[in-house]
Amino acid sequence: MIDRYLTPEMKVLWSEANRYRAWLKVELSALEAQAQLGEVPADAYRTLAPLTGADPLDEAFAVRVAEIENVTRHDIVAFTTALTERYGDPARFVHHGLTSTDVVDTAQNLLLDEALDIILADVAALREVCRVQAVTYKHTPTIGRTHGIHAEPMTFGLKFLNWMTALDRDRERLKAAQQRVRVVMLSGSVGTYAHVSPKIEEAVAAAWQWQPAPVTNQTLARDRHAEVLSAIAILGTTLEKISVEIRHLQRSEVREAMEPFGKGQKGSSSMPHKKNPILTENVTGMARLLRGYLVTALENVALWHERDISHSSAERVILPDATGLASYATRRLTGVLRDLVVFPERMLKNLNDLGGLVFSQRVLHLLIDEKGLGREAAYSIVQRNALQSWESGEGLRDLLKADPENPLNDADLDEAFKLEWYLREVDAIYGRFEL
């Protein structure tokens, strides 16, 4: 991922040096278990572990691995060779009985687990902003829109409440996917444990409080990774849904809310008056990328026989990029919603802009419930006057009052056009949540 869209934590997490530190954690954990079970000399781990702690793997080590890999054309061989160069003879029992994918896949799970922790914290922060704004704007009237057209009154806070609950579901999916990759695979070539006891895998999994993979071939099944990318892609759709709404509300003819516009910020190189929703447009674009990464993850599930590496090159791109973008986009949207500029007066103006048309359903029900009209007859009266209101700009209440076929009197019409009636259950909706 380009630096422009990387959070500091993700940049460190997916660095080459940190990838090798994860590989070393797997190797050392396996070596410790092997030493405890007598599969390697008892002091193999005790000798090597202090050396790695005193001289941890760094960027220089990553450079050296790259130099060796240019010759070996094999990343794990280059890694173990560089370990021997760095730590000497104590490293000779590293990778004993393991195959490359044991280390690569298990270490990759370590990195994914940490990446998901970061994303989950970011989603929790966005969720908290939505909660605060839901409370702040709980009773702020605004017009609800369906098909982009004014529908009926609602409150601005309900938008945030809906987003908050969507993020709760995103967190559930991300946590479930995280559990799916919290598995250790140390089963050797083609997954038969021929050169490494299953007890090693079990011991490492127990030490990490993870699970041993119950059965593998020479790779972890990639449906696990596809599930992670699916949860991330769905999170992206939530971020996009929120962003698209903000973009609409910022349109000049709507202008009910807008992104924060900083001191010194410029909206256009040519039009000084412009304030554009660039942050939420940016998030919308990122959501498209997240969906694209999922397609690749799904393609990675089907591999030849017990193993091929067609997934490997793709995962070197999609896993850092998807997790990094998800973190970045979530943080960007958190800032937008936290500092959102809101115009309640404009919301009320827009709500009343159509001359009361948005109260048509209440009129319809009063004709049916209070005056005893059949539904078709009642609908005909309301629709006829509503369409005339659309065309002429006259208020719906005035047209109904003048309609000789309308049996509603002034008191009835006052009742039909009450804004408060439409919002009377908002407290009940909020009562379903601990806010």
Strand spans (E) along 121-280: 141-146, 149-155, 183-184, 211-212, 257-258
Residue with tokens 């008191």: 411
How many degrees, rounded to 5, is the angle at CA 380 between CA 375 and CA 385? 135
Given the residues 147, 273, 305, 313, the one annotated as active site: 147
Q: How far apart are CA 123 and CA 235, in angstroms?
A: 9
Distance CA 31, CA 23 (A): 12
> Residue 151 has what DSSP assignment?
E
Q: Which is the catalytic residue, given 74, 139, 268, 310? A: 268
Q: Are strands 149-155 and 183-184 parallel, antiparallel or unpaired?
A: unpaired
Looking at the DSSP bridge assignments, the partners of residue 155 are: 141
User: Is 230 one of the annotated active-site residues of the chain?
Assistant: no
Helices 100-136 and 223-249: crossing angle, nearest 10°? 30
The set of residues, in sequence order, having a beta carbon less than 8 Å from that of 166 and lying 6+ positions away, is 238, 241
Look up 147 and say whether it is catalytic. yes
Q: Distance between CA atoms of 213 and 215, rounded to whole angstroms?
A: 6
Rounded Cα distance between 204 and 40, Å, is 15
Instruction: Provide the annotated active-site residues.
Output: 147, 268
